[in-house]
Structure 1
Amino acid sequence: MMNRQQRRKLYDNQQRAYNEGTVEQINDQWIFFDEETEEATMLDDFFQQEIEIFRMNRWKKGVFLETGEIRIGKESTMLRDHDLVRVKKHLIYSLERLLDGVNDDAFFQFVTTLNSLNFSIYDCIYCYNHLSFLSDEHRKDGVNFMVFDNQEVICNVQHHFCYYEKVNDRFEFTLNTGKRLVIEKMIS
């Protein structure tokens, strides 16, 4: 059985889990410049959120305070112009609920298969979670739909599920290149 910590570790090790860039102080405001999209964002938008700063050749995890201060454990450090920082991306809410709702084996198989196709859970651009509408049902069955875009290829995933006397999860991965993959997990 996987625990929350093991799941969290799998989340953290995903490709493209962070927006990475540099910061600059402009008119007493800290601005984040995303390295990939070249978009500028007010760092205040990440107030009280986890942020990582690259110092002494390694990433240090902390919490951003609006004064340009990052609390790392019991210590604090101040941002400097052109510091390299990264901010954890948020998962699409319906995908997060779906991943929380599947058992550990199905979760692990889904995520590792997705990763083997060079996709990250953070590449999700659409998720329809039918399971979330069946919370009161004794027998839960249906299909969830997910679309992932890694900037090179699109992957559509259909998650067929039936949770009744047996637990059955079937994931069908289809790439726009025509490649298809099916994994199925049954627990009696």
Structure 2
Amino acid sequence: MNRQQRNKLYDNQQRAFNQGTVEQINDQWIFFDEETEEANMLDDFHQQEMEIFRMNRWRRGILFESGKIRLGNEVIMLRDHDQVRIKKHLVYSLERLLEGINDDAFFQFVTTLNSLGFSIYDCIYCYNHLSFLSEEQRKDGVNFIVFDNQEQICNVQHHFFYFEKVNDRFEFTLNTGKRLIIEKMIS
């Protein structure tokens, strides 16, 4: 699995974007989040990836100036009440963890999480013990990750052992009591 395939899996996650509309008020662009009903200055998202709904499809670009989105070589000016989606950031420690595990473990973890109704963007807490062992030859321990999709909570324990063999074990526990364990071993 190359970087492009991983990015595609990131992009296909539910709740990967904050969606809403924009309005220009007193010469300032304001983003109104449709889920939380919060208003934020659009300048707070400067240089972030975002999508704008134009010509019946979402077009991806970067907010580079107030009211302007760069889509490749094209620049689009925002209009009042345009629908936009702003890409969410992953919790930093989860992002480092996902980058650090092998492709098979990554794919199994993300697809299992998705099958339970959660997205990697639902992460509210991640303790990445693996990041503290970067200099060690033998790495073993547990990472703790908590997800909240607004309907349920999912706690994941990632048990890892990386030495002569690579072993990743993910234990998913939902607040309903449902449990699921997946394990990936590579010799």
TM-score bracket relative to the smaller structure: over 0.9
**CA–CA distance in 2 between the matches of 1:99 and 1:77?**
33
The answer to whether 1:120 aligns with 2:110 is no
SS class of match (2:24) = strand
Q: Deviations over 1:11-59 (max 9, x none)?
A: 0000000000000001110000000000101000111221110001100
The answer to whether 1:159 aligns with 2:155 is no
Structure 2, unpaired ranges of 5+: none
* 1:27 counterpart residue number: 26
**CA–CA distance in 2 between the matches of 1:136 and 1:74?**
43
* 2:44 counterpart residue number: 45
**CA–CA distance in 2 between the matches of 1:125 and 1:69?**
31
The answer to whether 1:173 aligns with 2:172 is yes
User: What amino acid is aligned across from residue 120 of structure 2 in structure 1?
Assistant: I
Q: How does 1:1-188 map to 2 (within 5 A)?
A: 2-188=1-187
User: What amino acid is aligned across from residue 113 of structure 2 in structure 1?
Assistant: L
User: What amino acid is aligned across from residue 85 of structure 1 in structure 2?
Assistant: V
Root-mean-square deviation (Å): 0.6
More off after superposition, 119-128 vs 61-70: 61-70
SS class of match (1:99) = helix
**CA–CA distance in 2 between the matches of 1:52 and 1:25?**
18
State the number of aligned residues. 187
SS class of match (1:132) = helix
SS class of match (1:16) = coil
Provide the TM-score with structure 1 as the length reference: 0.98
Deviation at 1:73, TM superposition (A): 1.2
User: What amino acid is aligned across from residue 83 of structure 2 in structure 1?
Assistant: L
Deviation at 1:122, TM superposition (A): 0.1
Maintained 8 Å contact 2:31/2:41:
yes
Moved over 3 A (4+): none
SS class of match (1:105) = helix
Maintained 8 Å contact 2:42/2:66:
no
SS class of match (2:89) = coil
Deviation at 1:65, TM superposition (A): 2.4
Q: Deviations over 1:86-130 (max 9, x none)?
A: 000000000000000000000000000000000000000000000
**CA–CA distance in 2 between the matches of 1:102 and 1:70?**
34
Deviation at 1:66, TM superposition (A): 2.2
User: What amino acid is aligned across from residue 140 of structure 1 in structure 2?
Assistant: K
Provide the TM-score with structure 2 as the length reference: 0.99
Percent identity over the alignment?
Answer: 84
SS class of match (1:186) = strand
Deviation at 1:77, TM superposition (A): 1.2
**CA–CA distance in 1 between the matches of 2:65 and 2:28?**
9
**CA–CA distance in 1 between the matches of 2:60 and 2:148?**
27
User: What amino acid is aligned across from residue 72 of structure 1 in structure 2?
Assistant: L
**CA–CA distance in 2 between the matches of 1:177 and 1:68?**
44
